[in-house]
Amino acid sequence: MKYMVIIYGNQELWDSIDPAEFQQEIAAFDAFNKKFYDTGELLGAYGVADAAATKLVRLADGQPAVCDGPYLETKEYLASWFLIDVDSEERALAIAAEVPSAKARPVEVWPILHEASRETGVDMGVV
């Protein structure tokens, strides 16, 4: 069963962290990633760039129109996410609790519903 574990944050929050502490935080995340890559449960760990680098694409009369900024006018944005594959929801929650930043801020755990197959389903038996 796959889950997405999501951390939210914003620039203000990252700026408020003391640089030495920030290094520790990064090391803690590296250790977290290694630990769960090694167990074969972490499929990927990703972080987004600054919100300032975000572009928004809309279609205007069928033509893409690009402008700056995230879609939502929220205080906190999607910052990092982890894709995990585990035996149970219990296990997903236990891993989420080990995300280093969980000490300070909550993390979200979303079960993954849809995973589009790269193949046409022939191998998967829905014939």
Instruction: Return residues touching another protein (CB under 8 A).
Output: 1-2, 37-44, 85-87, 111-117, 121, 123-126
Question: Do the beta carbons of residue 68 and residue 55 sit within 8 Å?
Answer: yes
| Cβ at position 125, least distance to another protein in Å | 3
Alpha-carbon distance of 6 to 47, in angstroms, equals 10
At closest approach, how far in Å is the CB of 109 from another protein?
13
Give 22 or 37: the residue with its C-beta nearer to another protein.
37
CB of 103 to another protein, least distance (A): 26
Alpha-carbon distances of 71 from 41, 44, 52, 103, rounded to whole Å = 31, 24, 12, 28
